[in-house]
């Protein structure tokens, strides 16, 4: 097969779970054991390399489109890159798109080359209303592009059963056209790895247990709710927040104010690392942490939880979306109920209650170190059994063949 994968994120430009997914999926699809297929990746950036049957080409137009509202610039830039992608690709069997950023290109390639159009659902625009803060009325445009893509897709890969239901309900895609293939993890890379020097680099006391958050500063990840919970966490623990790349200046300021207030109110040290931490360091932090905390208000899958579990660290997470298919409550961690405000507003109806419930779950495990150890072992076992990339690539390839032969 001639397979093209279209994506915004690709190494070294990765800032979220979709980029991690594409990085490992393309690498695995290119392996000989999956067949002698050509894998062509088009992404946003200036990447350019070839490794055997894998070719990666970045798309970076040399001019920009005018925008009346500065918040529209990213949307218009996306459309421009998509047009370049559509004009670049030729003679492919499958065009596989990741996030709305590449959807318009995929739709055009389908029409121009008769390729089968596949979408992987990492998130859905109607469930991310906070994106208005970034895009302004261009959020209407991104939502429109996404809808058109789902209406034209030959097949959809949902990263969780929860997302399968959302795709059907929001866009009317028949269940038979949606296949659930979970996200995966590189088990050789993400494994228990200890290095006290890394802790020292981030001013973490190796003699005091710590709970860890890793993620962007965005409404979706619920970081503010965790910060508000810190004052309820029992004494004798450090809280490490690896949180950077704020979606907007506004939420960046909100985060800074919340951390300052938490430092005044909490008895525990708060260590805020306000930048993207290198992968090798993150793996060490996962491995040393007593708990990983994922307070997301919306999470189609939550690959970040797999990363922590692969490093032998149990997870305290909100019981939303695909997280419920990753974290087994009372076995690999604890799930905290979150009652949303409404069908499209996923912020907690009672934020203070949610913050207290997060802290209560954290405290419950911190009070039982033996249970944390047992949960950590079961976390690694679960990831090994269900979330390896070779299986995920094989299931993805099977889906391609089913669409081509239909």
- The whole-number average pLDDT for the span 65-78 is 94
Q: Do the strands 155-158 and 178-180 form a parallel or antiparallel pair, or are they unpaired?
A: parallel
Beta bridge partners of 329: 333
Taking each continuous run of H as one helix and of E as one strand, the counts in the chain are: 15, 14
pLDDT digits (tens, 9 = 90+) for 313-345: 999 999 999 999 999 999 999 999 999 998 888
pLDDT at 345: 87
Q: State yes or no: pLDDT of 32 exceeds 70.
A: no
CB count within 10 Å of CB 176 equals 7
Q: State yes or no: pLDDT of 17 exceeds 90.
A: no
pLDDT at 54: 95
- The whole-number average pLDDT for the span 374-389 is 95
Q: Which helix (H) or strand (E) holds 94?
A: strand 94-98
Read off the pLDDT band of 255 (50, 70, 90): very high
Task: Report DSSP letters for 266-296, one per residue.
Answer: -SS-EEEE-SPPPHHHHHHHHHH-SEEEE--
pLDDT at 34: 65
The percentage of residues in the chain with a pLDDT greater than 90, rounded to a whole number, is 90
pLDDT digits (tens, 9 = 90+) for 39-62: 999 999 999 999 999 999 999 998
- The whole-number average pLDDT for the span 248-274 is 94
pLDDT at 265: 94
Alpha-carbon distance 221 to 198, whole Å? Answer: 25
Instruction: Give Cβ neighbours of residue 215 (< 8 Å, ≥ 6 apart).
Output: 221, 223, 242, 243, 294, 296, 304
Report the chain's mean pLDDT, rounded to a whole number. 95
């Amino acid at each position: 097969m001639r397979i093209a994968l279209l994506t915004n994120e690709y190494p070294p430009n990765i800032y979220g779970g979709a980029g991690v997914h594409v990085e490992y999926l393309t690498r695995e699809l290119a392996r000989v054991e999956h067949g002698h297929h050509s894998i062509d990746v088009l992404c946003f950036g200036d990447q350019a390399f070839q490794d055997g049957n894998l070719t990666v080409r970045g798309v970076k137009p040399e001019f920009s489109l005018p925008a009346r509202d500065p918040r529209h610039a990213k949307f218009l830039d996306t459309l421009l890159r998509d047009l370049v992608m559509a004009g670049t690709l030729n003679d492919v069997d499958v065009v596989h798109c990741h996030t709305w950023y590449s959807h318009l290109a995929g739709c055009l390639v389908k029409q121009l080359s008769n390729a089968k159009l596949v979408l992987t659902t990492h998130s859905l625009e109607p469930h991310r209303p906070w994106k208005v803060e970034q895009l302004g009325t261009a959020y209407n445009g991104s939502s429109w592009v996404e809808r058109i893509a789902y209406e034209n897709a030959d097949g959809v890969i949902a990263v969780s059963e929860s997302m399968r239901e959302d795709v059907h309900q929001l866009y009317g895609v028949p269940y038979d056209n949606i296949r659930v293939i979970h996200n995966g993890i590189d088990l050789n890379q993400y494994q228990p790895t200890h290095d006290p020097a890394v802790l020292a680099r981030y001013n973490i006391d190796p003699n005091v247990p710590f709970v860890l958050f890793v993620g962007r500063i965005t409404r979706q990840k619920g970081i503010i709710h965790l910060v508000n919970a810190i004052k309820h966490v029992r004494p004798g623990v450090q809280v490490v927040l690896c949180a950077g790349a704020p979606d907007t200046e506004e939420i960046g300021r909100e985060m800074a104010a919340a951390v300052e207030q938490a430092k005044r109110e909490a008895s525990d040290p708060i260590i805020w690392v306000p930048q993207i931490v290198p992968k090798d360091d993150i793996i060490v932090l996962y491995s040393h942490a007593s708990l990983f905390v994922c307070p997301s208000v919306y999470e189609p899958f939550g690959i970040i939880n797999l990363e922590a579990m692969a490093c032998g660290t149990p997870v305290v997470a909100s019981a939303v979306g695909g997280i419920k298919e990753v974290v087994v409550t009372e076995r690999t961690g604890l799930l905290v109920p979150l009652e949303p405000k409404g069908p499209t507003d996923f912020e907690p109806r009672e934020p203070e209650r949610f913050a207290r419930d997060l802290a209560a779950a954290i405290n419950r495990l911190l009070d039982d170190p033996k249970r944390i150890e047992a949960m950590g072992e079961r976390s690694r076992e679960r990831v090994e059994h269900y979330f390896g990339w070779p299986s995920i690539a094989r299931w993805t390839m099977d889906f391609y063949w089913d669409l081509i032969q239909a």
